[in-house]
Every structure is written in structure tokens, then in C-alpha cells.
Amino acid sequence: MELFKSGAELDEDELEEIRDACELFETEEGNIPVKELKNILLALGGKVSKETKRQKLAELATQKRKIINSKDVEDIVLRQKGQEELDKKIRLVFSDICGDGEAGITLHNLKRVHVEIGLDYSEKELEAMINDVDLDGDGAVTLDDFKYALGSTDGQD
């Protein structure tokens, strides 16, 4: 679905900031040990989620790499930026479905949206949709439920 694709890019200032941070941790040979990744990300402001770091470290381990370069750091920062853009889009869609001031998607909200976009599901089908996604069983789909259903559960810790 095009709505949930990230168009994240790094601008020249961001790229320069990454190169500068990487230079701080380069060895005399111009290499950066993988163990310095955390320090580089802290030098960049530490805005990268643990999940994004774990994913990159797992890739590096699979490739049996012990050194990284600025392109690896760019990849991590770009992933995080893309995740943030995706999260904004998901929140926007969620709030559009919920309507004003509601904390979750209810059967009423889902009926309204289906009518607005010209779909014709039965109330039973709509209830099943809610029940499939409502993780705590309270009859409303929270933002966390919605993100989980869409497969966007990047932990921001």
C-alpha cells in the first residue's frame, strides 16, 4: 500500500553529520569497529530505537563483519527516519478512522469509514475485523493494536 511506504532520505547536512561522527571513532587504518556503533549513534543524538540497532547488528553478525563504515550508519539513521515517517502516517490514518477525540477505533467508527469509502460489509464482518485486531478485548482498537495489525511495532525504547 503506497500510503505506508517511506520516502525517507538523508539530506547533505545529515550525511555530513554522520561522516563527522564516524571519523571520531575511526582507527588509524580508517576502519570503525562494530563495537563503536553505539557510541557513534550517541554522538548523533541517540535518536535510534533499540530495535533498529538490533536489526543492523544482526545483519552485521550474519555477514560476520567486525568493521563498519559511514554507509552502515547512514543505513541505520535512514531506517529510523523511515520508521518515524511511517509512524506519523499510521497515526494520521488511525486518527482519521477514530474521529475527533476518541481513543480507539470502534464498530461505529469502522461503519462510518466503510460507508464513506463505499464499502458494504455486514455488521458481523465489521465486528470480526475489530475482534481480530483488538488485543485486549475491550471492543476498541487502540493505536498499539492498529500498529501491531499493520506490522509496525518498532519499539521506541
Secondary structure of 97-157 as H, E, C letters = HHCCCCCCECHHHHHHHHHHCCCCCCHHHHHHHHHHHCCCCCCCECHHHHHHHHCCCCCCC
Residue with cell 478512522: 97
Global pTM reads 0.67
The full 3-state SS of 58-107, as one line of letters, equals: HHHHHCCCCEECHHHHHHHHHHHHHHHHHHHHHHHHHHHHHCCCCCCECH
Cβ neighbour number for residue 44 with a 10 Å cutoff: 19
**Per-residue confidence (pLDDT) for residue 107, from 0 to 100:** 92
**Residue 44 DSSP label:** T
CA distances from 136 to 34, 139, 145 (A): 40, 8, 9
Query: In the structure grid, which three cell numbers stand for residue 38, read together?
Result: 553505539
Give 130's Cβ-side CA count (13 Å radius). 22
Q: How do the domains of the chain map onto residue ranges?
A: 9-150
Q: What is the pLDDT of residues 80-104, one digit of tens each?
A: 888 888 889 999 999 999 876 678 9
Residue type for 40, please? I
Its CATH class, for the domain covering 9-150, is: mainly alpha
Q: Indicate the residue type of 80.
A: Q
Q: For residues 132 and 130, give the distance between their C-alpha atoms in angstroms, rounded to a whole number.
A: 6
Q: Which three cell numbers stand for residue 44?
A: 548523533
- Over residues 114-155, the pLDDT tens digits come to 999 999 999 999 999 999 999 999 989 999 999 999 886 654
Confidence class for position 79, pLDDT limits 50, 70, 90: confident
